[in-house]
A and B are shown apart, each in its own frame.
Chain A
């Protein structure tokens, strides 16, 4: 067996799926733990962090259960090739958004159900660069991570095999190859590539976690263009299909339709004792656990901790230093669409095709710290309407720009925005259907952010000029969500240590995008899964007692 194959034997998920049916086939063998049976680890959130961590630990004999608010998806039964019909796979429970640059939630950045946000993400899975872990040291802004790129490299390689990631040899950051070769590129994306080449900007195909060739029992991609609405083909990776089948074989239980409302702590010992949740039956339950890993992503992890008040933690679990919910980051994701005489037909082929990290690292001559990546985007009709209306068109103008849709192709950027203490998640007064306060997310840009976004937008315009665009349309928007329970060196400016453990709660771990001290110019999915892989290694080797 090839090295890649050998590695795969530590995760049989691709072979546990069915050749033709897309839903998981081994649910009948899934473990069922009693609520008073204290599992070794109780995970909150069945997404990129939660499922990967569970699969690794279950392989080492840990008894693990996962609570997930949303349903246990079956792509055949539940997902549709339709933008409006895909509504249920996004977290559309309400959140209050404020600040000078409020961040739209829901389908923009929040998933729900088993598989989490990766069920609707476009598929880009780049690595971080070494510089991302040393931004304070290198650029004098933000903070350093308490770990380095080299602590994660082996995890990146392992997870890339398991997704699998397809793309050309990657020349940026720590150069590397990918297990699956680059996908064919649609005409719409080639247009951007030509413009970039003409400006001397390098682009490469990928990196996307979409099979290019079959992978175990997962078929290859059929280029249908509905990645953001859930992949009915099982070609695009999500932990639902890349890790959970194997996790279930080794005793992981997923309790879907269960909303965690409080992490309970024993005030005497200061250790967590389990999680209170509202079950499928609408009634309150409690699952005992020796240790808890909160993996609810950058809005729900802080919300859960802030709601878990007690005598020992009056302002929320692990929040005695008032750090929970702070330093939440999004990326500046402005997009510029360009119009051409021939038909582009953006609806075909996956939206993520070609990207560039030429501007990823800081370059003092630009006048701001850090940088941005450039990626091809391909909005479907409703997405395109949001782009057209962003410049204020409606009525006749809206109809005409929309009729023109097949002539357009879109580039987007991911600008690294800096962490700010006041960009934060707090609890609003309004309550949700579980009686739990909903999250409020306050967000504003700093000067460095604005300069970065402005510079990146000009680069996109330059690319389209060189490509010969007849017209352009711009939309300012934001992508992804990280931070809120960040990793750090000391208790007073972070929530968890380098081993994802809450500073003052010995058996509470946080393992999702909320632990990022900085966000890079990369989509966070691969980094989240690599962090989970690393944490599992620490926990297993008892380097970190749970």
Chain B
């Protein structure tokens, strides 16, 4: 049985930093930055097994990236760079997290709660944009987006640890604001089929459903489900699967 690359947990963040460069290249469909664990899996190939209402919603999400209506140009520049830091998207193809976030805030699709020591989600995001630019100006740049990648990452770490002080940051609970930002960003990123390819998610499953989920005779997975990368010579694997 070929040993699967990711059986042992050596790669997990709890065991030190992990360079995504070591990940297999995506060979089918799209993943953010074209790497992932399931190089030959594209959830969109299953779209005609989905119900009509779900298919329309998910394909629209892929093909029609919403225009910017909530953030102004300067805010969009700053928040766009911040979203790329939170999701470690340092190269194309990228999920347009900024645009989906803009749609959520513009259409007020809230989470249903507001912490007593935070303003509305809309105001949290505007304050974060202002605060990040304030910090950039302290380092001689007009916008957070103009900082180097390392400086942007450094600022994210300080935001995550609530070690940011100054006019904008004094108006809200900084550690809770970070949690609200991460919540909103993750909802946009992990709602996207490219992310589903990256993490091997089976995607919408109605009306087909599943039969193989651990029953001894039916096995662990359906034939179409994502297969995790295996430790074999890529050359042979490509030829064996007739991928080139």
Contacts and interface: CB of A to CB of B under 8 A. Distances in A.
- Judge: A and B partners, yes or no: yes
A105 B23 CA distance: 37
A485 B195 CA distance: 44
B40 to A, nearest CB: 15
Contacts of A399: 20, 87-88, 198
Interface in A398-413: 398-407
B86 A94 contact: no
Contact of B228 (A80, A81, A223, A406): A406
A443 to B, nearest CB: 11
Contacts of A110: 112
Interface string A372-405: 0000000011101110010011111111111111
A94 B112 contact: yes
A73 interface: no
Interface stretch (A243-251, A312-320, A340-348): A340-348
B112 A93 contact: yes
B206 interface: yes
B88 A347 contact: no
Interface in A154-204: 184-188, 190
Nearest to A81: B204
Interface string A322-341: 00000000000000000101
Nearest to A99: B116
Interface stretch (B3-11, B73-81, B132-140, B231-239): B3-11
Given A80-B57, A95-B112, A347 B37 contact: no
Nearest to A407: B6
Contact of A396 (B18, B179, B228): B18
B110 A403 contact: no
Nearest to A79: B53
Given A222-B206, A233-B206, A345-B213, A395 B190 contact: no
Nearest to B53: A80
Given A82-B58, A107-B112, A223 B51 contact: no
Interface string B1-44: 00000111101111001101001000000000000110000000
Contacts of A392: 160
Nearest to A222: B209
- How would you classify the secondary structure of chain B's contact residues: helix, strand, loop or mixed? loop
Contact of B214 (A188, A226, A341, A395): A188
Nearest to A473: B14
Contacts of A343: 200, 220-221, 228
Contact of A187 (B11, B204, B214): B214
A181 to B, nearest CB: 15
B199 A381 contact: yes
Contacts of A80: 51, 53-54, 57, 204
B111 A106 contact: yes
B16 to A, nearest CB: 10
A502 to B, nearest CB: 28
A459 interface: no
Contact of B50 (A81, A93, A382, A406): A81
A30 interface: no
B116 to A, nearest CB: 4
B156 A382 contact: no
Interface string B72-114: 0000000000000111100000000000000000000111111
Given A106-B113, A398-B87, A406-B228, A224 B209 contact: yes
Contacts of B203: 81
B191 A339 contact: no
B183 interface: yes
Contacts of A96: 113-116
Nearest to B3: A341
Contact of B182 (A95, A107, A394, A407): A394
B54 A385 contact: no
Nearest to A394: B86
A222 B23 CA distance: 34
Nearest to A97: B113
A396 B53 contact: no
Given A222-B206, A389-B186, A185 B214 contact: yes
A471 interface: yes
A386 B215 CA distance: 29
Given A94-B114, A396-B20, A471-B9, A81 B51 contact: yes
Contacts of A255: none
Interface of B: 6-9, 11-14, 17-18, 20, 23, 36-37, 50-51, 53-54, 57-58, 85-88, 109-117, 120, 153, 156, 160, 179, 182-183, 186-191, 195-196, 198-211, 213-215, 220-221, 225-226, 228
Report, nearest first, the 10 A-B pairs whose CB atoms are least far apart. A106-B112, A222-B209, A187-B214, A81-B204, A98-B116, A397-B13, A84-B191, A224-B205, A385-B186, A92-B112
Interface of A: 76-85, 87, 90-98, 102-107, 110, 184-188, 190, 221-226, 232-233, 339, 341-343, 345, 347-349, 380-382, 384-386, 389, 392-407, 440, 470-471
Given A85-B57, A395-B153, A396-B13, 19 more contacts: A80-B204, A82-B191, A85-B191, A94-B120, A97-B114, A186-B213, A223-B211, A226-B206, A339-B9, A341-B8, A343-B200, A347-B205, A382-B190, A392-B160, A397-B18, A402-B198, A403-B23, A403-B37, A403-B199
27 contacts: A80-B54, A80-B57, A81-B203, A81-B205, A82-B58, A92-B109, A97-B113, A184-B214, A186-B213, A222-B205, A222-B208, A223-B210, A224-B208, A233-B206, A343-B228, A345-B225, A381-B190, A381-B195, A382-B186, A395-B85, A395-B86, A395-B87, A396-B18, A400-B12, A402-B198, A403-B199, A470-B9
